[in-house]
């Protein structure tokens, strides 16, 4: 890709403008134009790029280049319909012959689920979407072939392998679909996870995490809050001191989900109380862990304070928590998907405080951290759509918007 300055020089030549005439029309000096074209001076303001494009009678995106192919990076992730089809099949339940005798070994299935979760935590959403149909089918067959899968009597922290893997597969599916804005389909996956987990309090708690996310995304904040708290307090240890970290992580994550729901419902007091409660558990767990795929710890709780402050209309407070929390070393220990998702919240918070420059920088940092989080989430595209028309946003936003075909 040609540098922006070279593009300016090329189009100035095409329009048969001398550097002096071009500078006069921009209200700049000839020296300024010369430095831009030689790359000595950078163009980092949208307003300047728009002025240059106006004089040259071209679209601003032309100055930045449109070589990035939009088909691969924008819009709906290809393969969601195959996930829908996989969730709609009942081959194992009705005993279809094609579904029998194809069981995947338990160790391989567990490895496949781990690989899918890892891809999700790196925001490789198209890859996860492609993996899910076969993963769901294999997990369903494994669950059906487990002789203890329908016996919940003694399940606690050691669920039958088939059932545990299927719950994780459904949970992953729901989490992905919420990210992609497929709320109704995510609800089906979350409901399947809850049904499969029934009888095992820990599996139910794990399945409740994406269920709470789905309920919140579908406008059922109060139900999300009550459901998350019921599951959390069901597994809460009587004494936090000395309690196993995995259980505390799951319990604390559910309390955070309840706090997010309380904020969505506009309940300031409950939000603060629940986050403080979660912070107490997080202090015992510490940062740098990923028990039950929660990444729960003090940093995760403080990032939730950003999201809740934003929902409650306290954008300035959200920015303050963001800047304080991301300055800590433990921030970098979170999964890439978690960090990028938070940076989208930060971008929204900066926009609400009238700071499009920092909003754009937060968005671009999210894109560098986990490109899929920005390129495939409707939330990110909405932020880009707001920024691309702001003259004070970073110039690179225009290039990103062009690549994603966001107007």
- pLDDT tens digits, 241-291: 889 999 999 999 999 999 999 998 888 999 999 999 999 999 999 999 999
Chain segment 54-88, per-residue pLDDT in tens: 888 777 767 776 443 333 334 456 789 999 998 98
pLDDT on residue 101: 52
Do residues 169 and 132 touch, judged by C-beta distance below 8 A? yes
pLDDT on residue 76: 55
**Low-confidence winner among 129-143, 232-246, 300-314, 381-395 (lowest mean pLDDT):** 381-395
Is 90 exceeded by the pLDDT of residue 358?
yes
Q: What is the mean pLDDT of residues 4-29?
A: 88
Question: Cα–Cα distance between 196 and 265 in angstroms, integer?
Answer: 29
Bridge-partner residues for 394, per DSSP?
45
Q: Which fold has domain 4-64?
A: 434 Repressor (Amino-terminal Domain) (1.10.260)
Share of the chain above pLDDT 70, in %: 88
pLDDT on residue 73: 37
**Low-confidence winner among 62-66, 137-141, 322-326 (lowest mean pLDDT):** 62-66
Question: Cα–Cα distance between 169 and 122 in angstroms, integer?
Answer: 17
Ranges of each domain in the chain: 4-64, 72-191, 219-332, 335-406
pLDDT on residue 290: 93
pLDDT band at 373 (very low <50, low <70, confident <90, very high): very high
* Mean per-residue pLDDT over the chain, rounded: 86
Do residues 212 and 258 touch, judged by C-beta distance below 8 A? yes
Across 59-86, b (16+ Cβ under 10 Å) vs e yields ebbebbeeeeeeeebbeebebbeebbeb
Instruction: Tally Cβ neighbours within 10 Å of residue 110.
Output: 17
Chain segment 165-185, per-residue pLDDT in tens: 999 999 999 999 999 989 999
pLDDT on residue 152: 44
Which residues lie closer than 8 Å to 42 by C-beta, 6 or more apart?
Answer: 4
Question: Cα–Cα distance between 18 and 20 in angstroms, integer?
Answer: 5
Question: Cα–Cα distance between 320 and 163 in angstroms, integer?
Answer: 43
Is 80 exceeded by the pLDDT of residue 215?
yes
Which residues lie closer than 8 Å to 7 by C-beta, 6 or more apart?
Answer: 62, 63, 64, 65
Is 80 exceeded by the pLDDT of residue 104?
no
Going by C-alpha positions, the residue among 407, 320, 315, 334 that lies closest to residue 373 is: 334
pLDDT band at 192 (very low <50, low <70, confident <90, very high): very high
- CA–centroid distance for 130 within its chain: 18
Helix (H, G, I), strand (E, B) or coil at 394: strand
Q: What single-letter DSSP state applies at residue 329?
A: G
Q: Outline where DSSP puts E strands in 24-118.
A: none
**Low-confidence winner among 40-44, 121-125, 298-302 (lowest mean pLDDT):** 40-44
Going by C-alpha positions, the residue among 100, 99, 133 that lies closest to residue 116 is: 133
pLDDT on residue 254: 98
Record the pTM.
0.80
């Amino acid at each position: 890709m040609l540098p922006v300055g070279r593009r300016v020089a090329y189009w100035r030549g095409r329009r048969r403008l001398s550097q002096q005439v071009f500078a006069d029309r921009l209200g700049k000096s000839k020296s300024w134009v010369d430095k831009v074209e030689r790359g000595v001076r950078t163009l980092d303001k949208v307003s300047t790029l728009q002025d240059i494009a106006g004089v040259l009678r071209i679209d601003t995106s032309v100055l930045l280049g449109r070589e990035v192919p939009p088909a691969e990076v924008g819009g709906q992730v290809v393969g969601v319909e195959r996930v829908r089809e996989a969730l709609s099949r009942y081959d194992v339940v009705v005993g279809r012959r094609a579904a029998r005798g194809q069981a995947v070994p338990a160790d391989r299935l567990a490895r496949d689920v781990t690989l899918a979760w890892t891809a999700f935590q790196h925001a490789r959403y198209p890859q996860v979407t492609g993996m899910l149909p076969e993963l769901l089918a294999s997990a369903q067959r494994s669950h059906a072939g487990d002789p203890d899968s329908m016996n919940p009597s003694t399940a606690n922290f050691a669920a039958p392998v088939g059932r545990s893997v299927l719950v994780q597969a459904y949970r992953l599916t729901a989490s992905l679909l919420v990210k992609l804005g497929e709320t109704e389909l995510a609800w089906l996956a979350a409901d399947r996870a809850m049904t499969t987990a029934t009888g095992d309090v820990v599996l139910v708690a794990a399945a409740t995490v994406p269920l709470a996310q789905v309920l919140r995304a579908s406008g059922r904040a109060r139900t999300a809050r009550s459901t998350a708290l019921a599951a959390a307090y069901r597994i809460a240890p009587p004494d936090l001191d000395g309690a196993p970290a995995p259980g505390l992580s799951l319990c604390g994550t559910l309390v955070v989900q309840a706090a997010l729901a309380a904020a969505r419902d506009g309940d300031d007091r409950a939000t603060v109380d629940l986050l403080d409660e979660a912070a107490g558990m997080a202090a015992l767990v510490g940062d740098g862990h990923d028990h039950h795929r929660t990444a729960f710890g003090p940093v995760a709780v403080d990032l939730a304070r950003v999201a809740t402050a934003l929902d409650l209309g306290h954008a300035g407070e959200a920015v303050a928590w963001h800047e304080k929390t991301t300055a800590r070393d433990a921030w970098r220990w979170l999964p890439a998907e978690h960090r990028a998702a938070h940076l989208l919240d930060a971008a929204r918070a900066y926009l609400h405080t009238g700071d499009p420059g920092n909003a754009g920088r937060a968005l671009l940092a999210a894109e560098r951290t986990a490109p899929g989080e920005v390129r495939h989430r409707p939330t990110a595209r909405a932020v880009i759509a707001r920024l691309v028309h702001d003259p004070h946003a970073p110039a690179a936003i225009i290039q990103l918007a062009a690549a994603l075909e966001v107007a």
